[in-house]
Structure 1
C-alpha cells in the first residue's frame, strides 16, 4: 500500500474554520485527520504539500517510519509549523492503518486500558463573551455579559454531567466584557504580560463565582496561557489557593521558572501544550515543572504524543491532551488517552457550532462527563465530504 495524495479541506465551523486532511492510498483506502490551520495566522497547508513530496509512495501503515523520516528532514528547522504539518500526515496515516487492519487506532497503540474517559468542558463560559457572543446568541445560547451569566454557564455544565470545567479570565466593567489576552494574539498591551491589582481582584471574584456555582466536588481549572511572566503567575496562583483548583494552566518557555512556580504554590500546575517533539519536553520533565503534562496530538502527532506521554510517566507526571478544535480531534485524543497509564482528563470543546458534528458519520459520544472510546476501525468515524463542501470556510 502506498500514499498517493493528500488534500486539505476547510469548512465553516461557526466562529472558527474546521480543517481536515484527506489522505488517499493506491488501494483506495482513505485516512482523515483534523488539524489547526492558521492558528498562528500562518497556513500549514503549503507545508503539508511540501512534506508530501517525501511521504508520497511510502506505506501509511508504517506510521513510525514515516513520522521519523519526515521529522528527520526538519532537523535544521525543527518543531513549530513544520511539526504540525508532519503531525497531520502522521495522524491521517494512523486512520488508514487502523482501517487496513480493521481495528481502532487505540489497538495499534497497544490497546485501550479504559473504555470511558473523563472530560472537562473547556473555555466554559469564557467563549460566550465578545467577540463570539453574538454567534452563540444566534444559536440560542445566552451571551455572557455579567459575572452571573458566567456562573450560569458553569451550572449548565454541571447539570449536563461534567465533573470538571476550565475557563479563562474575563474582565467586566467596560462597555463589553473583555476576554483576556493569552499573550500570543497581537493586540494593545499583549506584550506586557502582567496583571494589575484590579485584574487580580476580578480574577479572584470570577473564580469564586465559579466555585460557588459548581460546588466543592467539581473540578475547577483556570487557563492563563502565556499571559504572564513568573511574578504574575505566582500572584494569581497564591490569590486563588483557597479555591482548591483542579489545576492552574500556565505557559512559559523557561523550565527553571516553571519549576519555581510549581514549588512555590499549593495549586497543581498544568502546562507544556505549546511544545513540539519529545526533545522539547525533556528539560521540563527532568526539572519536575508540572503536575500534568499537556500534549497536543494534533501538533505532535498521535504516535509521537504517545512517546512523549510515556516519557512523562517515567517522571511520575500525569498526561492530558490539548484540543481546542473539533469532534474528529476529540476522537483522535480519545484513542491516545485510552492507551496511556498516566492519563488524567481530556479536554472537550462543548461550545461548538451544532452543524460541525454533521461532518462526522459517528461523532463523539459523551455520557455523564465521560467520552466513550470508539471501537470501530481507525478513528471510528468517516467524514462526510458532501457536508464539508456544502459549508465552505469563511475567511
Structure 2
C-alpha cells in the first residue's frame, strides 16, 4: 500500500475554521486527521502539502517510519508548525493503518486500557465572553455577570462533568472581557504582569464557579502565557485555599516552571505548546509539572504516546490538549485509551452545533465521560458534503 495523494479541506466552525487532511492510497483506503490552522500568524495547510510530497509513495501502515522520516527533514527548523504539519500526516496514516487491519487506532498501541474517558469542560464561560455575539446567535445563554458563572457551573454538574476549566474574565463598565493569554497582540501582552485588582477578580470568578459545581467537581484555571514567573507564583499562592484540580500555565523555561511548582501547594499543569520528546525531556526531568499536557494533533498520536511513556517514567500524569472539533475529540480519545497515566481529557461541549455533522460518528457525552470507539481507525469518517454545506466565512 502506498500514499498517492492528499488534500486539505476546511469548513466554518463558528468562531474558528475546522481543518482536515485527507490522505489517499493506491488501494482505495482513505485516512483522515484534524489539525489547527489558526493558532499562529501563519497557516499550516501549505506546510502539510509540502511535507506530503515527501510522503507520496510511502506505506501509511508504517506510520512510525513515515513520521520519523518526515521529522528528519525539520531538524534545522524543528518544532512549531513544521512538527504540526508532520503530525497531521502521521495521524492520517494511523487512521489508514487501523482501517487496513479492521481495528481502532488504540489497538495499534495495545489499548484500550479503559472503555470510557472522563472529561472536563474547557474554557467554561470564558469563550462565551470572548465570542459573545456568536454564542448568543447560537442560542447559548450569555455570560455577563459572576452569577452567570455559577449558572454554568450548575449546568456542567448536571451534565456529569468531572471538572471545569475557565480563563480569567474581568468585569468592567464596558462589560466582561476575557484576559490576554500572552500569545496574541493586545493590551498587556508585553508586560505579562498582574495587579491586586486582577488577582481579586480571578478569585471572585473561581468562587462563583465553585458555587455552581459544588465541592466535589474539579476546578481549573488556565493562564496560558499571560505571566512571568513572579505573576504565576502570586496567582498560585493566592488560589491555594480554593483547592484547584490544577492551575494551567505556560512558560518556556524548565527551571522557572519547576520554581512555580515547588513554591505552591496548587497542582500545576503545563507543556501543551511543546513538540517532541526532546522538548519535553528537561521539563519532566526537572519535575516541573503535576500533569504534563500533550497535544496529539500537534505532535501526532504516535509521538504523543512516546511523550506519555517518558512522563510515566517520571511518575507524571498526562492529559491531552484538545480544544477543537469532533474528529480531534476522537483522536484524543484513542490517545487517552492507550496511556496508563491519563489524568483527564479536555472537551469543549458548546461548539457550534453543526460541527457535529462533520463526522459520521461523533462521540457521545454520557455522565461526564466519552466512550472509546470500537470501529476501525478513528471510528468515523469526515462527511465532505457537510463540510461543503458550511463554507468558511472570510473576514
What secondary structure is seen at the aligned counterpart in 2 of 1:98?
helix
C-alpha distance in 2 between matches for 1:294 and 1:312: 10
What secondary structure is seen at the aligned counterpart in 2 of 1:198?
helix
How do 1:192-207 and structure 2 match up within 5 A? 192-207=191-206
How do 1:1-395 and structure 2 match up within 5 A? 1-130=1-130, 132-395=131-394
C-alpha distance in 2 between matches for 1:112 and 1:159: 28
Q: Once the 2 structures are TM-superposed, how far is the Cα of residue 15 of structure 1 from its aligned partner?
A: 1.1
C-alpha distance in 1 between matches for 2:290 and 2:319: 10
TM-score by length of 1: 0.99
What secondary structure is seen at the aligned counterpart in 2 of 1:192?
coil
State how many pairs are aligned. Answer: 394
Q: Is the 8 A contact 1:126 1:150 kept in 2?
A: no
C-alpha distance in 1 between matches for 2:38 and 2:26: 30
Deviates more, 1:369-378 or 1:136-145: 136-145
Q: Is there any run of 5+ residues in structure 2 with no aligned partner, and where?
A: none
Q: Is the 8 A contact 1:269 1:290 kept in 2?
A: yes
Q: Once the 2 structures are TM-superposed, how far is the Cα of residue 135 of structure 1 from its aligned partner?
A: 1.0
C-alpha distance in 1 between matches for 2:238 and 2:103: 48
What secondary structure is seen at the aligned counterpart in 1 of 2:175?
coil
Q: Once the 2 structures are TM-superposed, how far is the Cα of residue 119 of structure 1 from its aligned partner?
A: 0.3
For residues 77-128 of structure 1, the C-alpha deviation after alignment (integer angstroms, 9 at most, x for no partner) is 1000000000000000100110111000000111211000000000011111
Q: Which stretches of structure 1, 4 residues or longer, exceed 2 Å deviation after superposition? A: none
For residues 212-256 of structure 1, the C-alpha deviation after alignment (integer angstroms, 9 at most, x for no partner) is 211110000000000000010011111111010000001001100
Q: Is the 8 A contact 2:149 2:212 kept in 1?
A: no
Q: Is the 8 A contact 1:91 1:302 kept in 2?
A: yes
Q: Is the 8 A contact 2:153 2:211 kept in 1?
A: no
Q: Once the 2 structures are TM-superposed, how far is the Cα of residue 41 of structure 1 from its aligned partner?
A: 2.6
Q: Is the 8 A contact 2:2 2:58 kept in 1?
A: yes
C-alpha distance in 2 between matches for 1:359 and 1:208: 37
Q: Once the 2 structures are TM-superposed, how far is the Cα of residue 189 of structure 1 from its aligned partner?
A: 2.2
Q: Once the 2 structures are TM-superposed, how far is the Cα of residue 188 of structure 1 from its aligned partner?
A: 2.5
What secondary structure is seen at the aligned counterpart in 2 of 1:177?
strand
Q: Is the 8 A contact 1:79 1:276 kept in 2?
A: yes
For residues 32-56 of structure 1, the C-alpha deviation after alignment (integer angstroms, 9 at most, x for no partner) is 0000012103111111111112100
Q: Is there any run of 5+ residues in structure 1 with no aligned partner, and where?
A: none
